[in-house]
Structure 1
């Protein structure tokens, strides 16, 4: 087993591959993809890896527990290890997988939040700190948090979530108490909760790969089914394309409106917005970018793709098993040209993959 860096808590369940070398970890992930995506093994490329495997996490959501005795209690921030019905709280104050700023924000939260408050989760994202309180809004607590002395670059948010538990955040009840309500990295606006890949170099590589493949079709009309912050829409609009995106998160969609001005943005579940997408496409040829949640597209979305027949599809998947299921259905009309894996989460078994699909030649592919 490799020597672990300082601060790595051996009992923490977060990084199952931390004892492996970079080579051994990559081999396991590559082997897993080959098994799960066996029908397309011949077109799976080598894993794209980051330059650094530690200190990469710029966003982290952790559990909070009160530790110490009754007279000397303090906040611990960390992970939960489950063994059957038993749970063990593992504090990770100096986690080496985190960017140093993330650990600093968690330390700040542990110092500032009074120990009698119902502090349940802490979220650090870039220069934003979100305190999750298991409570409805209390004006006196909000006033106290507004008075905290923070570094000037830090934005402070509170998420009022009386049901905090299996669902840590209530998407309807996030309030900005200090600093800017919006963050910006690399010219892209985002909020404190919105998803973004942890490793910018790999995020750029994945977007470039998918967009270059789509743009080669020569069709200035693009649809992004789970558009998030609008990275693909931003690029398409800069090229003068007509573009439409669907996104469930209101925070992400508000950011996409700034990141990709002029794009048609539809809020809701993708399967519920297919009629509006048909109207937008208007029977014209188009290309498609898709990055669905772990469960994949589902029958309605796969059926729509086969029916609407975009000339090319770039599909970024966070779950090879659901990708396999979706590709089996899309094989009705598409050939898989290439599958490129990305190691967005070093030290863990998690691996993502970009599948590049073309409408089959006998059906008029480009």
Structure 2
């Protein structure tokens, strides 16, 4: 097979490289490779981040964009005692699972790490990530006599699925640019089209860049902490087509604000809401504390299955609505509701899972530490006419014991924590409340495995269903079903 040269990365961009070391420092530590050395190696695996894994004289190297079964040449850029990192220089022998990434900036943008891997193989890889973590961290047996880990549920069309874009705005050669950061840097890759974004988000971002440039609105300079426009956030209701434009600025005052709003309304079809968020801090956090509506409604609406949701500028709402319906459907299946159960939904957010459960539960109790999310949850329950749902602000590990004291018996507890997993006190609370079932929705296989190991003291982990919420990236979501052990 002909040798393939990978696309050259922009020399001014800090992409996937680890911090550089001096060659002398690497030599002093007597590593089997030298920095800058070009080595040829066979790729035998894929890391959880999507990098190829190979060995050179027994020394492990991680090579982004390389795939299993391939023979590659790679340049060593960072070395540690037991492993190092190398940049792909040449594909000597390509693997059968390699495909041509359709995105023109794939080799520079840090948004997708697996576009070069056939989608069917991405699904296999993500199932294996879950299996590996359950074995290594949780100590679980997989397969016969252990946990069943089902094949990953993927999409028929794994493109154009994201209903939300958060795009940093900058300046390049006197012009306004907006796109996504190069991998492991804050260098903005100017993008007019992102193949995993809903087309509406591309239209919104391009319109704002064009309008802001015409009106002379200054982009934010991260290093100098100057300028006005930091980010453009676009949200779209996949089922309704409604669009929200959020302008993240460093101060309240926007020059020619009325004209800016008028031009956005004229040039963005379906826009229902234009919102400004003010973030004057020197921080990587996108949103500030103050949000004002400049035009239209405070929210847009969308549906997940039959349930309608109001989405504000700062609402947490899953970015892949098609796969969210799959994920929540599996959650509802694992809960095994008959209409007589009381369910607690910890980390309930704006009530998305709670309202799915309320369709078949007697009562659902949702708890969330973010007050604004609980207000959204209450509004969404009212919007859909659910009267069997109670939402409360607070830490789940504090609120749930009080509910128990007040007579609330949880037949099922559902948790959907952030990437860091469940608070240790919450796991203790679950073990003390002894629901018949626990359904764990996870966005991080490593913390899932860690928490299941704790819950396995009283629960049998029956099955885990990976769901591909983020095609062409290394991320995977999972739903785990736990049944109380009969003593």
Q: Same fold (TM over 0.5)?
A: yes
Q: How many residues align?
A: 353
Structure 1 residues 122 and 269: alpha-carbon distance in aligned structure 2, compared to 1, 3 A threshold: farther
Q: CA deviation at 1:55?
A: 1.1
The one of 313, 322, 332 equivalent to 1:211 is 332
Of structures 1 and 2, the larger Rg is shown by 2
The answer to whether the aligner puts 1:20 opposite 2:126 as a matched pair is: no
* Alignment partner, residue 102 of structure 2: 5
Structure 1 residues 305 and 257: alpha-carbon distance in aligned structure 2, compared to 1, 3 A threshold: same
Deviations 1:164-198 (A, max 9, x none): 5321112x312221122111112222223322223
The answer to whether the aligner puts 1:349 opposite 2:474 as a matched pair is: yes
* Alignment partner, residue 396 of structure 2: 270
Cα distance in 1 for partners of 2:186, 2:262 equals: 35
* Alignment partner, residue 350 of structure 2: 229
Cα distance in 2 for partners of 1:123, 1:139 equals: 17
Deviations 1:113-155 (A, max 9, x none): 34325111121111111111122x2376655554444146311
TM-score (norm 2): 0.68
The one of 197, 202, 206 equivalent to 1:98 is 197
* Alignment partner, residue 39 of structure 2: none
* Alignment partner, residue 239 of structure 2: none
* Partner-residue secondary structure (3-state), 1:110: helix
* Alignment partner, residue 63 of structure 1: 168
Structure 1 residues 147 and 47: alpha-carbon distance in aligned structure 2, compared to 1, 3 A threshold: same
* Partner-residue secondary structure (3-state), 1:258: helix
* Alignment partner, residue 334 of structure 1: 459
* Alignment partner, residue 230 of structure 2: 120
Structure 1 residues 15 and 6: alpha-carbon distance in aligned structure 2, compared to 1, 3 A threshold: closer
* Partner-residue secondary structure (3-state), 1:41: coil
Q: CA deviation at 1:32?
A: 1.5
Deviations 1:274-321 (A, max 9, x none): 3443345x1524211111000000211111110111111111100011
* Greater Cα shift, 331-340 or 244-253: 244-253
* Partner-residue secondary structure (3-state), 2:182: strand
Cα distance in 1 for partners of 2:415, 2:361 equals: 20
Contact kept, 8 Å, 2:339 with 2:362, in 1: the verdict is no
The answer to whether the aligner puts 1:129 opposite 2:129 as a matched pair is: no
Structure 1 residues 270 and 139: alpha-carbon distance in aligned structure 2, compared to 1, 3 A threshold: farther
* Greater Cα shift, 291-300 or 187-196: 187-196
Contact kept, 8 Å, 2:233 with 2:246, in 1: the verdict is yes
Cα distance in 2 for partners of 1:276, 1:235 equals: 24
| 1:28-43 matches, cutoff 5 A | 28-38=125-135, 39-42=140-143, 43=148
The one of 245, 267, 274 equivalent to 1:156 is 274
* Alignment partner, residue 320 of structure 1: 445
The one of 69, 90, 107 equivalent to 2:206 is 107
* Partner-residue secondary structure (3-state), 2:464: strand
| 1:237-316 matches, cutoff 5 A | 237-239=358-360, 241-261=362-382, 262=387, 263-279=389-405, 282=407, 284-316=409-441
* Greater Cα shift, 349-358 or 201-210: 201-210
Contact kept, 8 Å, 1:9 with 1:95, in 2: the verdict is no
* Alignment partner, residue 179 of structure 2: 78
Cα distance in 2 for partners of 1:238, 1:218 equals: 8
* Greater Cα shift, 347-356 or 33-42: 33-42
* Partner-residue secondary structure (3-state), 1:310: coil
The answer to whether the aligner puts 1:138 opposite 2:214 as a matched pair is: no
Cα distance in 2 for partners of 1:343, 1:37 equals: 18
In structure 2, runs of 5+ residues without a counterpart are 1-97, 219-226, 237-242
* Partner-residue secondary structure (3-state), 1:292: coil
Contact kept, 8 Å, 2:419 with 2:444, in 1: the verdict is yes
Q: CA deviation at 1:217?
A: 6.5
CA-atom RMSD, angstroms? 2.3
| 1:184-199 matches, cutoff 5 A | 184-186=301-303, 187-199=308-320
Structure 1 residues 300 and 5: alpha-carbon distance in aligned structure 2, compared to 1, 3 A threshold: same
Question: Which structure: greater helix fraction?
Answer: 1
Q: CA deviation at 1:203?
A: 1.2
* Partner-residue secondary structure (3-state), 1:123: strand
Structure 1 residues 41 and 141: alpha-carbon distance in aligned structure 2, compared to 1, 3 A threshold: farther
